[in-house]
Amino acid sequence: MTAPTKTTVEQHGEIAILRFEGDIMSASEEAVLGAYERVGVGTRKLLLDFSRVPYLNSSGIALVIRLLIAASKASQRTVCFGLSAHFEKVFRILGLARYTSLHVDEVAARAAAG
């Protein structure tokens, strides 16, 4: 059995970084969406750190999509980084570029967030 997903939220002014750790699946709803709900009211930019996520199943990807849609509706710019090559390809195939951009590391993600 895999360990539950953990998420830390770092607030830096109008930027929030959500750092996910562990597999993301249906049981990760609180770790993904609950973490998003803890983001500060003045947040304009979200950085999603997947560098410690070895696996996302379809239910986990659905949770990420829900987060991306909520952020888009709130006019928040979302940037993802640290995805494995496989999951970066999955995100691209699913058309998630409508809601986010994908970057190799935090430095590139911060630069893209502006």
Mind listing the domains of the chain with CATH numbers?
Answer: 6-108 (3.30.750.24)
Average pLDDT on 77-95 reads 95
Positive or negative: CA dihedral 52, 55, 59, 65:
positive
Supply the pTM of this predicted model: 0.94
Would you state the pLDDT for residue 14?
A: 94
* Mean pLDDT, the chain, whole residue set: 93
Would you state the pLDDT for residue 2?
A: 63
Q: Which residue has the higher pLDDT, 40 or 80?
A: 80
Look at the block and give the residue holding tokens 């986010």: 100
Spatial separation of the C-alpha atoms in residues 67 and 64, rounded to whole Å? 5
Say if residue 79's pLDDT is above 60: yes
Would you state the pLDDT for residue 97?
A: 82
How would residue 22 be classed by pLDDT, with cut points 50, 70 and 90?
very high
What are the phi and psi torsion angles at 73 (to 5°)? -65, -30
Q: Which residue has the higher pLDDT, 53 or 114?
A: 53
3-state secondary structure string, 3-35? CCCEEEEEEECCEEEEEEECCECHHHHHHHHHH
